[in-house]
Amino acid sequence: MGEGNSITNHISEFNTIIAQLTSVQITFDDEVKALILLSSLPESWSATVTAVSNSASNSKLKLDNIRDLILSEDVRRKSLGESSNSSSGSALSTETRGRSSQKGRNQGRGRSKFVEKSKPKFRNDITCGNC
């Protein structure tokens, strides 16, 4: 699937291909179908694919569950005004995490970790006792 294509169309095409393969006696286990569907998603869905893969490490994936998850994520993205090829705003997106471009400035979230070291000041009233 290419970036920007409809997820519902993609799943529909996927189901058609699976049905065609089944009609010629080529069958796949339900978990294999789920993995094929996950791997066919575009790069913008990589966070979702990773989250699903990691959460199901000990249990078998089911095609119906994966399909429902993909469709609900697509609805969520559309409700936020995102296209299905955008990863910004995703609950799994890490693009906006981390330090902002205003490094070192206290932004009202507690004390800044940056503490400037004080420089020694030159004092004229002290004389050296060794000289």
Q: Tell me the domain boundaries of the chain.
A: 7-79
Q: 7: closest CA among 62, 95, 70?
A: 70
Q: Are 103 and 113 in contact (CB under 8 A)?
A: no
Q: 47: closest CA among 82, 17, 18?
A: 82
The C-alpha atoms of residue 77 and residue 84 are separated, in whole angstroms, by 7
Whether the predicted model's global pTM rises above the 0.85 cut: no
pLDDT at 75: 92
pLDDT at 101: 57
CA-derived radius of gyration, the chain: 27
pLDDT at 86: 46
- Give the Cα-Cα-Cα angle 56, 40, 69 (nearest 5 degrees): 45
pLDDT in tens, the chain (131 residues): 566 678 899 999 999 999 999 999 999 999 999 999 999 998 888 998 888 888 877 788 899 999 999 999 999 988 887 654 444 444 444 455 555 555 555 555 555 555 556 666 666 777 777 76
